Chains A and B, each alone.
Chain A
Amino acid sequence: MQRMQWLDLKFIVGVLCLGSVVFLAAFGTILSPHDAGEQNLLMALEPPWNFAEGHVLGTDHLGRDILARMTSGARVSLAIAGAVVVISGVVGVLIGSLSGYLSGTRDMVIQKVVETFWAFPPVLLAIAVLAFLGQSLGNVIFALALQRWIPYCRIARAQALTIRSKEYIAASRIMGGGTVWVLRRHVLPNVMASAIIVATFTMATAILAESSLSFLGLGVPPSVPTWGGMLAEGRSYISRAWWLAVFPGLGIFVTVLGLNLLGDWARDQFDPKPGINLV
């Protein structure tokens, strides 16, 4: 691996995008004197930049402060996406590594299960799960993680398949290394780099999916403000009060863009360069 290039445009813009969202989630409450649930119908549909009343990004149709709701939405989005990434990552990498390392019949069985999961349209599967289990934070995370472990699984399996034929694995086995030992010492460390890349992209899709579910009214309970929910509510006011939909939309856009840029950058760093090996 070559030295990391930190001064890459992708990296800088990615960090700025994601950093601003994290900043909003962490310090948004300081910027807005209002609470996300606090209604004031007298102040409904107040346009942005109303610094006198403290509604920097305006208010919605119930007079709730958009900035405060954006902060809450950022927290929900990041928390759900983060949990989905970690859970699906751990599950996917473990199953994938094991599948690739064992290979043969066991690998085939695992891969059939993977393909079955993959065959469902992602949002449809999540909707079905949520309709069945009911709306709660935990269920949303479960519904989203249900398919997102598959990319990890695939990449981990592919890596494990190449690693398993390496002679150092044979050496380890001759010296008594069992499956757990070989996975922990040889396979998993080699899979980590790719898993991190997958994680950034998974996080982006998880945020999009969470917003989609909230937009459809199937995400977290409606009392919790989310970007997707705000977008859905703002939809009917789009011609009169653009800020209701634009700010949550911007939030989603910036987060996903930042994650994709960072993922792209990470891939550039970890991937072997198409250099020429001659000597």
Chain B
Amino acid sequence: MPLSAMTSATEPTRLGEEDLLVVRGLHRTFARPSGFLSPPLETVALKGVSFGLRRGEILGVVGESGCGKSTLARIIVGLETADAGSVHLGGSALIDVEKRQSVPASRRGIQMVFQDPYASLNPRMRVQDIVGEGLAIAGKLSKAERQERVSAMLATVGLSPQDGERYPHQFSGGQRQRIGIARSLVMQPRLLVADEAVSALDVSVQMQVLNLMLDIRERLGISMMFITHNIGVVEYLCDRVIVLSQGGIVESGETRSVIADPQHPYTQRLIAAVPQL
């Protein structure tokens, strides 16, 4: 049984054949050292999170703010470290706390799409430099080759190559999000992690970006982990979903079955609170 098929976080974890990403027992505590008059403060962001993500699937991660979903994403992409547990991608370890292993972010083959279409693009850089930044850091391609890749990627996300000459402020929120997606795709990642990638967008634009995500999966076969608080987005986009509450997975499974028949009280509350038309 692949790890991704399990419905409860407490089942024994096993590496499945179909799983691209396998997360086991991820643990993270944030500690604030004691200050002048304040005692030390510990918050548990993640307590033993285990799940699998299948090749080619879009996995939704839902939960209220502070449930640890952003921390989870940041650990997987390499912006944050874990206290315990392991993360494997395609069978090789990215993080293994026991073995003191941690692959640098740039060599993980994972890219991220961010929430804020304004803060995620450097306002002083041209779009082509933003999209080509990762390639420039890697330094393997000539400038002309980089340009070519960037132009092709801009076309893939529905922008024109001439847009590369412009600056972020000349674009709308939806277009900026496309630029951010192009930036991550140009690195040819095996997994895309999107953290609330459509929640700052207008409804009319949100659907364009969701459809772009589906197109990308179809055409490039990229697997995705999509973090959101919007149940509607999960229903539309995600094949399977895991529900996080207070740092732990409380429910997981096929999107349709989880939403139709939520088992955990928190999931039930979450779904009941969404006004249905």
Contact = CB atoms under 8 A, between A and B. Distances in A.
B236 to A, nearest CB: 24
Per DSSP, chain A at the interface is helix
Interface string A171-185: 111111100010001
User: Which of A168, A170, A185 has the most B CB atoms < 10 Å from its CB?
Assistant: A168
Contacts of A8: none
Nearest to B168: A168
Interface string A147-191: 000000000000000000011101111111100010001100110
Interface string B96-125: 000000001111001110111001111011
B164 to A, nearest CB: 17
B124 A171 contact: no
B134 A176 contact: yes
**Which secondary structure dominates where chain B touches chain A?**
mixed
Contact of A175 (B120, B122, B133): B133
B114 A171 contact: yes
A220 B46 CA distance: 63
B137 A177 contact: yes
A167 B196 CA distance: 12
Given A176-B104, A176-B105, A176-B106, A171 B137 contact: no
Contacts of A174: 77-79, 105-106, 110-112
Nearest to B114: A167
A190 B114 CA distance: 21
Interface residues of A, number: 16
B138 interface: yes
Interface of A: 166-168, 170-177, 181, 185-186, 189-190
Interface of B: 74, 77-79, 104-107, 110-112, 114-116, 119-122, 124-125, 130, 133-134, 137-138, 180, 183-184, 187
Given A177-B133, A185-B122, 13 more contacts: A166-B122, A167-B119, A168-B120, A168-B130, A170-B74, A171-B180, A174-B105, A174-B110, A175-B105, A175-B133, A177-B137, A185-B125, A189-B124
